[in-house]
Structure 1
Amino acid sequence: MTQLHAIEKAYQRIIDKQEMVQSDPYRLHFHIMPPVGLLNDPNGFVFYQGKYHIFYQWNPFATTHGQKYWGHRISSDLVHWEEAPIALAPDEWFDKDGCYSGSAIVHDEKLYIFYTGNVKDKEGNRESYQCLAVSDDGLHFDKKGPVIEVPKGYTAHFRDPKVFFKDDKWLMVIGAQNLQEQGEVVLYSSSDLENWFYRGPLTGSHRNKLGEFGYMWECPDLFHLENKDILIVSPQGLEAKGYKFNNIYQSGYFTGQVDYENPSYQHGSFEELDRGFDFYAPQTTMDETGRRLLFAWMGNAEIGETQQPTAKYGWIHALTLPRTLKWKEGKLLQMPVKELELLRKNQVAYDNITIMNQQKQLNGVAGNVFELQITVTDWNAEIFSLTVGESTLCFDKTSSTFSVERKCFNKQGTESRHCRLDKLENIQLFKDTSSLEVFINNGEEVFTSRIFDDINEQAVSFQANGQVTFDVQKWDLKKIFN
Structure 2
Amino acid sequence: MNALTRDLIKLVDMTEEMMKEKEQKEGVDYREKLHLMPPVGWLNDPNGLCQLNGIYHTFFQYSPFNAEGGVKMWGHYTSKDMIDWEYQGVKLYPDQPFDCHGVYSGSTFIEDGKMYVYYTGNVKLEDGDFDYINTGREANTVLVISEDGKTFGPKKELMRNVDYPSDLTCHVRDPKVWKEGDTYYMIQGARTKEDVGQALIFESKDKINWKFRSRVESEKPFGYMWECPDYFEVDGTKILSASVQGLEGGVWDDRNVYQSGYFLINGSILEDYKLSEYMLWDYGFDYYAPQSFETEDGRRIHISWMGMPDCEEYTNLTIAEGWQHCFTFPREVFVEDGKVRQRPVRELQKRKTFVDKSTGMLKKDGYKVYDVNISGIQNNEFRTVIDEELILEYKNGRFEMHFTSQDKNSVSAGRGMRYVDVDKISSVEILVDKSSVEVFVNNGEYVFTTRFYPQKDSLTVEAAGAEIMMEEI
**TM-score (ref. length: structure 1):** 0.90
1:9 aligned partner: 11
Give, in angstroms, the shift of residue 298 of structure 1: 0.3
Give, in angstroms, the shift of residue 21 of structure 1: 4.7
CA distance 1:21–1:102, shift in 2 (3 Å): farther
Matched, 1:202 2:204: no
Contact 1:307 1:409 in 2 (8 A): no
Matched, 1:90 2:90: no
1:220 aligned partner: 229
1:132 aligned partner: 143
2:369 aligned partner: 369
1:462 aligned partner: 461
C-alpha distance in 2, partners of 1:65/1:411?
21
2:133 aligned partner: none
Give the residue type in structure 1 aligned to 2:326. A
The correspondence for 2:46, drawn from 30, 33, 42, is 42
The correspondence for 1:473, drawn from 464, 469, 472, is 469
C-alpha distance in 1, partners of 2:416/2:318?
20
Give, in angstroms, the shift of residue 426 of structure 1: 1.2
Structure 2: any 5+ residue segments left out of the alignment?
Answer: 131-135
CA deviation string 1:379-434 (max 9, x = no partner): 246x42110112000012xx321001134361477611001122111111111111
2:174 aligned partner: 160
SS at match of 2:326: coil
Matched, 1:63 2:67: yes
1:111 aligned partner: 115
Contact 2:60 2:75 in 1 (8 A): yes
CA distance 1:217–1:15, shift in 2 (3 Å): same
* Greater mean deviation of Cα atoms: 327-336 or 229-238: 327-336
SS at match of 2:77: strand
Contact 1:365 1:474 in 2 (8 A): no
Contact 1:21 1:35 in 2 (8 A): no
2:355 aligned partner: 348
CA distance 1:306–1:238, shift in 2 (3 Å): closer
CA deviation string 1:164-190 (max 9, x = no partner): 111211110000111212111000011
Contact 2:357 2:470 in 1 (8 A): no
C-alpha distance in 2, partners of 1:133/1:391?
44
Give the residue type in structure 2 aligned to 1:367. Y
Contact 1:284 1:294 in 2 (8 A): yes
CA distance 1:258–1:59, shift in 2 (3 Å): farther
The correspondence for 1:295, drawn from 303, 311, 329, is 303
C-alpha distance in 1, partners of 2:276/2:253?
16
SS at match of 2:335: strand
1:400 aligned partner: 397
C-alpha distance in 2, partners of 1:371/1:316?
24
C-alpha distance in 2, partners of 1:3/1:174?
28
C-alpha distance in 1, partners of 2:209/2:342?
36
C-alpha distance in 2, partners of 1:107/1:431?
37
Give the residue type in structure 2 aligned to 1:181. D
Give the residue type in structure 2 aligned to 1:386. T
Contact 1:177 1:183 in 2 (8 A): yes
Matched, 1:192 2:202: no
Contact 1:243 1:417 in 2 (8 A): no
Matched, 1:147 2:149: no
Structure 1: any 5+ residue segments left out of the alignment?
Answer: 355-359, 478-482
C-alpha distance in 2, partners of 1:297/1:119?
23
SS at match of 2:92: coil
2:316 aligned partner: 308
C-alpha distance in 1, partners of 2:239/2:194?
26
2:261 aligned partner: 252
Give, in angstroms, the shift of residue 240 of structure 1: 4.5
1:451 aligned partner: 452
**TM-score (ref. length: structure 2):** 0.91
* Greater mean deviation of Cα atoms: 118-127 or 411-420: 411-420
SS at match of 2:154: strand
Contact 1:45 1:54 in 2 (8 A): yes
Give the residue type in structure 1 aligned to 2:298. G
C-alpha distance in 2, partners of 1:311/1:129?
31
Give the residue type in structure 1 aligned to 2:357. Y
CA distance 1:106–1:462, shift in 2 (3 Å): closer
C-alpha distance in 2, partners of 1:119/1:202?
26
CA distance 1:264–1:216, shift in 2 (3 Å): farther
SS at match of 1:8: helix
Give percent identity, aligned residues only.
35
1:20 aligned partner: 22
Give, in angstroms, the shift of residue 299 of structure 1: 0.4
Aligned residues: 454
C-alpha distance in 1, partners of 2:435/2:147?
37
1:169 aligned partner: 183
The correspondence for 1:274, drawn from 276, 282, 288, is 282
Give, in angstroms, the shift of residue 243 of structure 1: 6.9
Give the residue type in structure 2 aligned to 1:45. L
C-alpha distance in 2, partners of 1:216/1:73?
29
Matched, 1:436 2:423: no
C-alpha distance in 2, partners of 1:463/1:222?
39
Give, in angstroms, the shift of residue 476 of structure 1: 1.5
Give the residue type in structure 2 aligned to 1:13. T
2:420 aligned partner: 419
Give the residue type in structure 1 aligned to 2:123. V
C-alpha distance in 2, partners of 1:219/1:245?
23
C-alpha distance in 2, partners of 1:411/1:314?
16
Give the residue type in structure 2 aligned to 1:385. R
SS at match of 2:155: strand
Contact 2:314 2:408 in 1 (8 A): no
CA distance 1:245–1:178, shift in 2 (3 Å): farther
1:357 aligned partner: none
Contact 2:197 2:222 in 1 (8 A): yes
